[in-house]
A and B are shown apart, each in its own frame.
Chain A
Amino acid sequence: MVAPTQAEAPVLLRGITFAYGEGELRKAVLRDVDLTVAPGEIVLLTGPSGSGKTTLLTLIGALRAMQEGSARVLGQELRGANESARVRLRRNIGFIFQNHNLLGFLTARQNVAMALEQDAALSEGQRLARAAELLAQVGLAEHLDKPPSQLSGGQRQRVSVARALAVDPGLVLADEPTAALDKASGHEVVQLLRGLAKSRGVPILLVTHDPRILDIADRVVAMEDGRIVSATAQNNAAA
């Protein structure tokens, strides 16, 4: 297998098998999945519902306890990792959800700054300044102090992109980030995500059903019935 001392891939999965339920009701959702994401690579995970792609994402994101196989994420072995180790790992992962999940009672800037509150090195002023900077990068410099309710769907998702990138993550995980958006704003959001990730060299693993955004990927991985069925390198894979 891989020696952990070498500069290793941010995501390195070997023989991941996962099932829900017990006994008769046991239902396997992942069977012997191997996947590697290289530094700076943008990988799209597609496949029909129930193909296990979302479960795979939650395992990589350390949101779920592993069952079988080995998963090294950002150098951390997740097999047998306890809750506090997983919580620590999550602080280095940027999450983008289908819904923006911004805190409604905070402004856009406060929402982004909250992602930085777990770093004691930053003062409140530095957090807010950094949040403003990130929001400017996603084109929301004019909307810093608006609550999510006063932003459009695309703008909200851009705030959550800024929030995911605020912590300088080693990896970004996104789940259907465009599902709730129209074509134009959906495309805008993923282009933004791609641009920011590429400029920082952050790899992205993105689950999607949306064929309209396949063009942002370096590689598209298709899943079916808990297995990876094909991996296609995209033309525009130049990073």
Chain B
Amino acid sequence: MSGAVLAARRSPGFAASTLLAVRLAWRQLWSEKARLASAIAGVMFACVLVFMQLGFRAALFDSATALIAAMRGDLFLMHPLTTASFRSEPLPRVRAWQVLALPEVERTVPIYLAQATWRNPETGTRRAIQLVGVDTDAGVVDFPGLEPLLDRLKRADTMAFDQRSRPEFGPVAQMLAERGPFEVQVGNRDMEVVGLIEIGPSFGADGNIVLSDVNFRRVVKERQLSSIDLVAIRLRPGADVLAAQARLRALLPPDVMVLTQAELTAHERSYWEDTTPIGFIFSFGSLMGLVVGMVIVYQILFSDIAGHLKEYATLKAMGYSNFYLAQVVLGAALILAVAGFIPGFVVSALLYDVIGSATFLPLSMDVPRATTVFLMIFTMCGVAGLLAMRKLRDANPADMF
């Protein structure tokens, strides 16, 4: 008989052994379908929660900046103390005319912002609505549907109503279609609705109306026309925006900020993100969802390992490495991530539709967010797997005998 020699076996490569580990993980999960279902439900729950929180968060920021995003302009002037457009600090209108000193400035337009009460034309209840007053001829503010209304808005006591405003303002679109332009009390004045535009409600304002600067003054009587909220500046074609911004900063007194449109949007956004707890609440909500999901996945993986300690120890005795078993556990975690994400994604997309149409918030599924959530869920399951893996140390083949 020949002497015993270690058989020279080539172990499978990393990819092959990972594949086998994941297959083993899948077989283990599949063998206990009730447990698998509850694990998937847990991941799905976390997934939906995160999608909702991030969706609301993005909707808030999108809607908060919808008004700003719709304004055309190369540069804007705003009072440094203005934290958000719905609660603006007035600045002197003369700043708008001072800007014209620069040769590259083509036009400037003062914008008036205020909130007033709107009386629901059907029920008579009152609710605060955002007023946007602007020289409608200047072509600085652009909202879908505004263009054909420009002539009508020049008449006294007329306004355009944002048809995406919340339904509490009354069935304005329907009434307009049925009986044509009609009067609604805004502030203490009867104003005529002459047409519809689209902006969308935000967390700061449930609805919007756009009207000329002159009509704005008629509604908001206490406001001096010389006191404005925002200035939009149009530069001559080919002018360097940043250079003009620098020159304006040098030119103007410190009671105004000179911002590009992107900076203005970011400023508006940062109000909601940083100076209100709202951004934090949604981030916190997402985190809670992930923590709950992680605990569920951890529990499932942990009890799977605890219930199979002898078998795992046997695998170790058979020459399977710790690394292989770690791959099995991580494989199970990642299977759960994928299996939970898919239904979570579908349910979230449906909920976005339902909630979006109920709240009029711009909730929509997009690829970057889906990718972000998938990575979060993937990480969540991965961390749960890494935590559960510590239990593998208890699978000691020397204790098997």
Contact = CB atoms under 8 A, between A and B. Distances in A.
Interface in A14-60: 39-40, 54, 57-58
Given A64-B398, A84-B321, A175-B401, A102 B311 contact: yes
Given A58-B401, A97-B400, A121-B10, A90 B318 contact: yes
A39 B314 contact: no
B10 A120 contact: yes
Given A87-B321, A117-B20, A7 B308 contact: no
B3 A39 contact: yes
A98 B314 CA distance: 11
A9 interface: yes
B299 interface: no
A88 B2 CA distance: 21
B13 interface: yes
B101 interface: no
Contacts of B10: 119-121
Contact of B398 (A58, A74, A91, A98): A58
Nearest to A91: B319
A201 B318 CA distance: 20
B6 A75 contact: yes
B276 interface: no
Given A119-B10, A120-B11, A10 B308 contact: no
A76 interface: yes
B3 A9 contact: yes
Given A58-B398, A118-B320, A120-B13, A40 B1 contact: yes
A135 to B, nearest CB: 17
Which of B13, B308, B320 has most chain A Cβ within 10 Å?
Answer: B320
Contacts of B5: 74-75, 170
A75 B4 CA distance: 7
Contacts, number: 121
- Interface centre among A91, A99, A167, A175, by most B CB within 10 Å? A91
Interface residues of A, number: 51
Majority-rule SS of A interface residues: loop
Contact of A207 (B1, B320, B401): B401
A200 B3 CA distance: 13
Contact of A118 (B11, B24, B32, B398): B11
A67 B166 CA distance: 79
Contacts of A105: 27-28, 30-32
Contacts of A74: 4-6
Contact of A97 (B28, B32, B401): B401
Contact of A9 (B4, B30, B311, B400): B4
Contacts of A118: 9, 11-12, 318-320
B317 A95 contact: yes
A225 to B, nearest CB: 18
Nearest to B29: A105
A170 B7 contact: yes
Contact of A61 (B31, B32, B311, B317): B317
A93 B9 CA distance: 13
Interface string B90-121: 00000000000000000000000000000000
A126 interface: no
Contacts of B308: 103-104
B311 A103 contact: yes
A92 interface: yes
Interface in B8-37: 9-13, 16, 20, 24, 27-28, 30-32
Contact of B2 (A39, A54, A115): A39
Max count, chain A CB within 10 A of own CB: residue among B3, B308, B315, B318 = B318
Contact of B4 (A64, A102, A110, A170): A170
Contact of B310 (A6, A84, A101, A120): A101
Contacts of B314: 95, 97, 101
Interface in A194-212: 201, 203, 207
A199 to B, nearest CB: 13
B13 to A, nearest CB: 7
**Which 3 pairs from chain A and chain B are nearest by CB?**
A7-B3, A105-B31, A91-B319
Given A90-B319, A101-B314, A118-B318, 13 more contacts: A7-B2, A8-B3, A54-B401, A57-B401, A63-B397, A74-B6, A87-B319, A92-B6, A92-B7, A97-B314, A110-B27, A120-B10, A120-B13
